Amino acid sequence: MEIKHVTVLGAGLMGHGIAQVCAQNGKYDVVIHDLDSHLINNGMTMIENSLNRFVKKAAISEKEYKETLSRIHTSVDLNEAVQHADLVIEAIIENLGIKTSVLGKVGKSAPPHTLIASNTSSISITEIGAATGRPEKACGMHFFNPPQLMRLVEIIRGLKTADDTVETVRQVSIRLGKQPIVVKKDTPAFVVNRILTPALNEAVYLLAEEIADASDIDKACELGLNWPMGPLKLLDYIGIDTHLSVSQVLTNETGDPKFRPSILLKQMVRANRLGRKTGQGFYSWPEK
């Protein structure tokens, strides 16, 4: 199946980056959908800022900058946004009820051939696929933050995902300049977050128990484990609310206590200290 038109649901932290990659690297015609024009305008501003940084680094030309923006369209009307889509990539809030509600509408509105991929980092693809009404055409397509730079994409099979769907999404990922892996079973949090979540949680426990300061915990992992970024700073980039959601899904689905989140994580979410996107997390971020 040939993909020409891609719709990205969500203009936020991940959505705007995925849309940019689809337009910039994939040369796809892209529609970004979100709930209101303010959210979409914020997403477009982030795309323009990101493209400007590529221009300043001489990674792309001014012509490529303009061509990329010309491929991106916007819509606050969900039916309009998906009417010509060959592939819909959902990148909305990590909440099962909201995702299944939106994707249920997509399944009814999009053309019969349209594939539906979710950027979820932990939620069951089988359950998401069932909500679309076309589970054979649904899969996970998990990008990493920031999508413009991170090369990995996890492609996750649901119980009823067709082989053709997986192969088409794999080819799209390669066209985007990514290195895809296929997660053969619909397991909670897939591969990377299954490995990463306990490590990030342990860093938060160390901080909560006052074993070391945040900067020293991060320095230990950067210098001792050769991590490019310490775990607490990474959590600020991921979004502390997103990580808490992943931890809770893993705890509930597996029953394994190694995934149990620290109370400190819950308190930070309640205080809206979510990381870079709110300006305050384990560190202060003057510009959101």
**pLDDT of res. 189:** 85
> 122 by DSSP, 3-state: which?
coil
**Domain contains 189:** no
How is residue 48 written in tokens?
């323009």
* pLDDT, position 145: 85
Cα 280 to Cα 28, 265, 269: the distances in Å are: 35, 13, 11
DSSP, res 265: H
User: Which CATH number do you get for residue 231?
Assistant: 1.10.1040.10
- What is the per-residue pLDDT for 100? 95
Q: Each residue of 109-152: pLDDT tens digit?
A: 999 999 999 999 888 999 999 999 999 999 999 999 889 999 99
Q: Are residues 174 and 38 in the same domain?
A: yes
Question: Which residues are CB-contacts of 2 (< 8 A; sequence separation ≥ 6)?
Answer: 86
Last residue of a domain, one of 149, 183, 217: 183
Residue 214 lies in a domain: yes
Domain around 172: 5-183
| pTM for the model | 0.86
Blockwise average pLDDT, block size 10, the chain, 288 residues = 96 95 98 95 96 95 96 97 97 92 97 97 92 98 93 97 98 98 92 94 97 98 96 95 91 92 96 95 86
The tokens for 87 are 């592939």
* Residue 107 confidence (pLDDT): 97
Helix (H, G, I), strand (E, B) or coil at 94: coil
**Which helix (H) or strand (E) covers residue 99, if one does?**
helix 96-109
Kindly give, in sequence order, each residue whose CB lies less than 8 Å from that of residue 196, ignoring residues fewer than 6 positions away: none
Instruction: Identify whether 287 is part of a domain.
Output: no
pLDDT at 288: 52
- The residues facing 181 across adjacent strands are 154
Catalytic residues: 121, 142, 154, 193
Is residue 148 in a domain? yes
Task: State residue 135's pLDDT score.
Answer: 98
- What the block records as the tokens of 168 is 């088409």
